[in-house]
Amino acid sequence: MTVTGVGWFWCGLATLGVGVWLFAPRRRRAAAVLVGSCIAYAAVAGSFSGRVPGLRADMIDVGDGTAVLIRSGSDALLWDCGGLHRPVGNTVGDAARALGVGRVRFGVITHANLDHFNGFPDAVGLLGIETVFVTPALMASREGVWGEVRAAIESRGVALRALNAGDEIVLGDARGRVLWSGRAGSERWLGNDGSMVVRFEISTDRGTRSLLMCGDLQTAGVAGLMESGVEVRADVIEAPHHGSVNEAAIGLVEIVDPGVVLQSTGRSRVGLAAWSVSRARARWLSTAERGAVFAEIAPDGTVRSGGFLGAE
């Protein structure tokens, strides 16, 4: 069991109480009071640990892959969890503890690429995930590596639920509206163009602020998203397809006109010239350059962002 929100002083007292209970039978009443007080303190501290008074996205450095913890209030969601060269599930568990997050209720798998889902079997156990949201195409498929990972997730008692465009995810004080989720019935929507796109909104003193998460969306997916006529402008955006060069994705980011771009990538996609306009207009934070990166929307409407290697 992982206990969050407490320090070494609590650990020392709890250990002392257990030791007295075991080795000093005549003092068990005092030990019971001490241990009971420690448990009560841990319960209260844990309920406040990791709490975000607004909306925050922490993009964990997993190299070539994606794993983002999104939090609002006391709720947390894991947006994708995969990587090609690292034990991503354990990395995400360590990161969650470092952020004071004891439990993550929800997960999202945006599409059927290995670098977005292969860490979920470990993560669901470490974080206590109850429900994983997927696209209609993923829900209809049990083939290949995705089928194996899906079986591993479901064997841990985790429910899979398909989300369509227009569905909502309630996350603390924020609301995530699904803008695009591909379409069922064709294998093409299992890949990048079927990536789930969700716009998380939160009310602040300066009006509504938003975070746009878009997986590996590319040409056909961007076309489908734009044809739907939904609002895509946002204060913070996840760089589509790890910041790969794709004209449609580049155009989407220019339309969104964010103040902050969070890019999860290895070294091969750092500083690509095709993104120079977006990099000049927004604060561009890459995990390959800054380690874990984050963006936080405060209740007063201000947006703060930075990286583990030099937060600002």
Tell me the pLDDT tens digit for each residue of 251-284. 999 999 999 999 999 999 999 999 999 999 999 9
CA–CA separation, 187 and 302 (whole Å)? 41
pLDDT at 310 over 80: no
State the pLDDT at residue 312.
Answer: 47
pLDDT at 2 over 70: no
Quick one: average pLDDT of 189-210?
96
Phi, psi for residue 279 in degrees, rounded to 5: -65, -30
Q: Which two three-digit tokens encode residue 56?
A: 């925050």
What kind of fold does domain 52-307 have according to CATH? Metallo-beta-lactamase; Chain A (3.60.15)
Instruction: Please state, in angstroms and as integers, the Cα–Cα distance from residue 302 to each residue in 19, 108, 209, following that order.
Output: 48, 26, 9
Helices (H), the chain: 8-23, 28-48, 88-98, 114-117, 120-127, 136-139, 144-155, 219-227, 247-256, 276-281, 287-290
pLDDT tens-digit readout, 128-186? 999 999 999 999 999 999 999 999 999 999 999 999 999 999 999 999 999 999 987 67
- Domain ranges (residues) in the chain: 8-48, 52-307
Quick one: average pLDDT of 108-122?
96
DSSP-derived 3-state class of residue 108 = strand
Q: How many helices (H) and strands (E) does the chain have?
A: 11, 15
Quick one: average pLDDT of 65-80?
96
